[in-house]
Amino acid sequence: MNTLHLARELRAQVEQWRAQGDTIALVPTMGNLHSGHLALVEEARRLATRVVVTIFVNPLQFGPNEDFGRYPRTLVDDLAKLEAAGVDLVWTPPVAEVYVNGFPPATTITVSPIADQLEGAFRPGFFTGVATVVAILFACVRPDIAVFGEKDWQQLQIVRRMVDDLRFGIRIVGYPTERAADGLALSSRNQYLSEADRAQAPKVHAALQAVAAGLKAGRRDFDELCAEQTALLAAAGFKPQYLEVRAPSLAQPTADDHDFVVLIAAVLGGTRLIDNLAVSGH
């Protein structure tokens, strides 16, 4: 497994593979890898002959009061996991190698209005940071395929829209959310949970399941359905930020729709948890 830091080294290796007829799959990460990330790698290996993983904690997607400084950086462990998973190349660039003309960059990408709601409403500028860095990673790696986790459903839809609008010609693959046995979506931020909060955290997934059960039973009073579960979470000590039913595209749902995604964000202790659940109402 190659571990590279410079874009020119990355491009040279990718061009060599392309000359051999290889296909390239990219898995972008911010490191601190868990089994959910490794499932993305496994999917990438299934879809392409070469797998590139990027590890870059992107400062552009962190707000002034967010956890950029304390975001866990575990590069040695991450590299060991990726080598065991059969990754061909890991790119771990410094900030100056990603934002070559200085930080913050003069050029950014905004995908509106999809980025202005849900997560975007609570984290202004977050998706501009995500879209910009993903576009840069795509320009550097030039993959045929990129694999993203469905846990970040809104992010996945934003990346898909950006790729379509800007004609990147990259196949974007969403991979189902990896969960702990009690239903909690795997996330690097779960390690911030206290023991007591970790025991409470699965109630986020339970709220999604309850809303999904209502939809499958034919309920279309979306706001009331979500308000019921929001109240239960608040009573359990959570600070819910949003719990909403949307169409899979993130458009507002109608009573005639059959397919939905339920999305949630809630703070427990000092940890912000997000999750979602796709629902077929047929």
Q: What is the mean pLDDT of residues 30-35?
A: 95
The pLDDT-based confidence of 69 (bands split at 50, 70, 90) is confident
Q: How far apart are CA 38 and CA 32, in angstroms?
A: 11
DSSP state for residue 279 in the 8-state scheme: E
Q: What pLDDT is recorded for position 212?
A: 97
**Sequence-distant (≥ 6) Cβ neighbours of residue 109 within 8 angstroms:** 128, 131, 132, 135, 162, 166
User: Phi and psi dihedrals of 66, rounded to 5?
Assistant: -100, -175
- State the number of CA atoms in the 13 A half-sphere of 224 facing the CB: 4
Cα–Cα distance, 26 to 44 (Å, whole number): 7
Identity of residue 243: L
- Residues 234-252 have a mean pLDDT of 97
pLDDT band for 66, please (50, 70, 90 cuts).
Answer: confident
Digit-coded pLDDT (tens) for 184-238: 999 988 989 999 999 999 999 999 999 999 999 999 999 999 999 999 999 999 9
Residue 113: CB atoms within 10 Å? 9
Structure token digits, residue 14: 């990718």
Q: 264 Cβ partners below 8 Å, 6+ apart?
A: 204, 207, 208, 240, 242, 243, 244, 273, 274, 275, 276
- Asked whether the CA dihedral 18, 22, 28, 33 is positive or negative, the reply is negative
- What is the pLDDT at residue 20? 97
Residue 93 to residue 24: CA distance in whole angstroms:
19
Is 258 known to be catalytic?
A: no
In the chain, how long is the greatest CA-to-CA distance?
A: 59
Tell me: the pLDDT tens digits for 140-181? 999 999 999 999 999 999 999 999 999 999 999 999 999 999
Report domain extents, the chain. 2-175, 188-280
Looking up tokens 């995604």, which residue turns up? 261
Query: Quick check: 153 and 261 in contact, CB under 8 A?
Result: yes
Q: pLDDT digits over 107-125, tens only?
A: 999 999 999 999 999 999 9
Question: What span, in angstroms and rounded, lies between the C-alpha atoms of 189 and 195?
Answer: 14
Q: Which of 5, 34, 37, 282 is catalytic?
A: 37
pLDDT range class, residue 282, cuts 50, 70, 90: low
Q: Can you tell me the distance from the alpha carbon of 158 to that of 147, in angstroms, rounded to the nearest whole number?
A: 14
Query: Model confidence at 281, in pLDDT bands (50, 70, 90)?
Result: low
CA-CA-CA-CA torsion sign (34, 183, 274, 162):
positive
The CATH fold of domain 2-175: Rossmann fold (3.40.50)
Range 188-280 classified under CATH 2.30.40.10: no
Is 188-280 the same fold as 2-175? Answer: no
The CB density around residue 37, as the number of other CB atoms within 10 Å, is 24
User: Is residue 57 helix, strand or coil?
Assistant: coil
- Average pLDDT, integer, range 6-26: 98
Residue 28 has pLDDT above 80, yes or no: yes
Average predicted confidence (pLDDT) for the chain: 96
- Look at residue 65 and tell me whether its pLDDT is greater than 90: no
Mean pLDDT score, 86-102: 98
pLDDT at 77: 97
Bridge partners (DSSP) of residue 121 are: none
